[in-house]
Amino acid sequence: MKAIVTTLVVGLLALVSPATADDAKAAKKDIVDTAVAAGSFKTLAAALGAAGLVDTLKGDGPFTVFAPTDEAFAKLPKDTVEDLLKPENKAKLVDILTYHVVSGKVMAETAVTLDKATALNKKVIVLAVKDGVLTLNGSAKVVTADIDCSNGVIHVIDAVILPPSE
């Protein structure tokens, strides 16, 4: 009887013990799932789907994503998002979305030391710190940094950045 009670206690302790680092890593979501779960990136998620980039950002990475919120997309001129989501504008949408992604995992501590970053679309994003806040191209501000994901990091921004024209 004592052996059964001991086994039960050890088993229960194993069930309620704190998660290990491996458990936490396994539970961490990828960039897409993290953004969707946050609930404030519905427009970004729809755009990624329309552009065919969901599988890319669910891939191994690592990636650094400067993720505009729904409010950031709402600042664009009227009907811009609707136009970009049309199949005939897929190339332009892909160009804009990949301009928000940098290869590698660049945490804020490193990002604030850089003056530029090359996006996946091979175009340069100008980085600067203004009043203690990391900005992109002088307009978008990082409002939340270092959202750690299984395949990279998300930095939330308050505006959509547009790639420079050729």
Cα–Cα distance list, 47 to 11, 55, 72, 121, 155 (Å)? 47, 13, 13, 16, 18
**Where does 75-132 have alpha helices with state H?**
80-84, 90-98, 108-111
What does the pLDDT read at residue 98? 97
What does the pLDDT read at residue 4? 35
One digit per residue, the tens of pLDDT, for the chain of length 166 reads 433 333 333 333 333 334 444 444 446 899 999 999 999 999 999 999 999 999 999 999 999 999 999 999 999 999 999 999 999 999 999 999 999 999 999 999 999 999 999 999 999 999 999 999 999 999 999 999 999 999 999 999 999 999 998 6
H/E element holding 59? none
What does the pLDDT read at residue 27? 62
| Structural domains of the chain, with CATH | 29-157 (2.30.180.10)
